[in-house]
Structure 1
Amino acid sequence: MNVIDEAGVLAISTRLQRLSDLIRKDGLQIYKAHGINFEPKWFPVIYALHKKPVLSVVEIAAEIGYTHPSTISLLKELEKQKLIRSKRDKTDERKRLIQLTKKGKDLVGQMKPVWQLIVAAVTDLINTENNLMEAVSEVEDQLKKKSFTERALSLMEHQQE
């Protein structure tokens, strides 16, 4: 056991990041094994545009739960790869509408069977006594009710009383 493991809940963010990195790294290997050149970090945008074919930058950020700057960064990478294209909204010139290119749609077609495999593998992985997806959902719901910061500040106030 290393010091981060020993830190328990103090290191939750580090542990979740480590878990995410491991799954993402393996995801990359799974795509490569199927001859697909795809970065797992692109998944949220590609999947959002697969499900909702035309979205503004703000809508994509909301759909994937990323900040606007993080979303812009991903969009630039995907545009460079020619997987997405943007056009100006005819009703609002300030708004950019994003959609998959033919190359992006073809990539999604290649990835769909791999997604089924990934779902099966992840389902097997998280099928533990304390199902990870259920726990993540519960924690996300708790954060919607009261942020981590609010909780810490509230505890601080109670300690001072």
Structure 2
Amino acid sequence: MNLYQSLGYLVLGSRLRRLSEGFLAEINRAYQIEGIDFDASWFPVFYLLSKNESLSIKELSAHTEVSHPAASQLITNLKNRKLVTSATCADDGRRQMVQLTDSGRELLAQILPVWDAILLAMDDVMANDAACQNLLPGITALENAFKSTSLSERISNKLNMELKAETHD
């Protein structure tokens, strides 16, 4: 058992970050091997725009559960690469509607088979280890638990219970 495994929940965030960074590096390597100039961090925008002709930055932000500035920054990056464009919404001049450019649609056509291969490869990983099969349901359950009562609130409650127990001893 390594240090991270031995520390359990104290390093959960670090382990998840390491896992995420390693996973995204492997995905980016797969795109690179296929000669596709695509970054895994662009996936949420490309996926949503593959399912919708156009979306506002606010809608992209809401669907991906990132801040409006973070979504806006990603869109600016993709605009600079000429993969998306935005135009003022006809109904509401304050909204910018984002859509894939022709280059963005060409790139989407190249990456769709990679997405299918990612799903198949991850199915292989999961099929070979029963414990791995609980990963996504476990993450969903943890996300829901954190939404119902924040972790910081739970920690404060534990600290307060400990302080009360000490004062009664």
Distance in 1 of aligned mates of 2:159 and 2:92? 46
1:17 and 1:50 map into 2 onto residues whose CA distance is: 27
Shift of 1:123: 2.1
Q: Which runs of 5+ in 1 are unaligned?
A: none
Q: Could you tell me which residue of structure 1 aligns to residue 139 of structure 2?
A: 136
Partner amino acid, structure 2, of 1:6: S
Distance, in Å, in 2 between the alignment partners of 1:116 and 1:70 is 27
What are the equivalent positions in structure 2 for 1:8-157 lying under 5 Å apart?
A: 8-127=8-127, 128-130=129-131, 131-157=134-160
TM-score if structure 1 supplies the norm length? 0.92
Identity of aligned residues (%): 32
Using the TM superposition, give the Cα deviation of residue 7 of structure 1 relative to its aligned residue in structure 2, in angstroms.
Answer: 2.0
* Residues 52 and 153 of structure 1, relative CA distance in 2, 3 Å threshold: farther
Letter in 1 for 2:137: E
Distance 2:29 2:54 in 1: 30
What is the number of residues matched between the two proteins? 161
Higher Cα Rg, which structure: 2
Aligned Cα root-mean-square deviation (Å): 1.5
CA distance in structure 1 between the partners assigned to 2:163 and 2:52 by the alignment? 49
**Contact kept in structure 2, 1:44 and 1:64, CA below 8 Å:** yes
Which residue identity lines up with residue 162 of structure 2 in the other structure? Q
Aligned to 1:159: 162
Structure 2: which amino acid aligns with 1:76?
Answer: T
- Structure 2: any 5+ residue segments left out of the alignment? 165-169
Contact 1:126 1:133 survives alignment (8 Å): no
Q: Distance in 1 between matches of 2:156 and 2:51?
A: 39
Provide the C-alpha distance between the structure 2 equivalents of 1:142 and 1:17, rounded to a whole number of angstroms: 19
Which amino acid counterpart does residue 143 of structure 2 have in structure 1? E
Q: Offset at 1:156?
A: 2.4
Instruction: Give the CA deviation at 1:2.
Output: 4.5
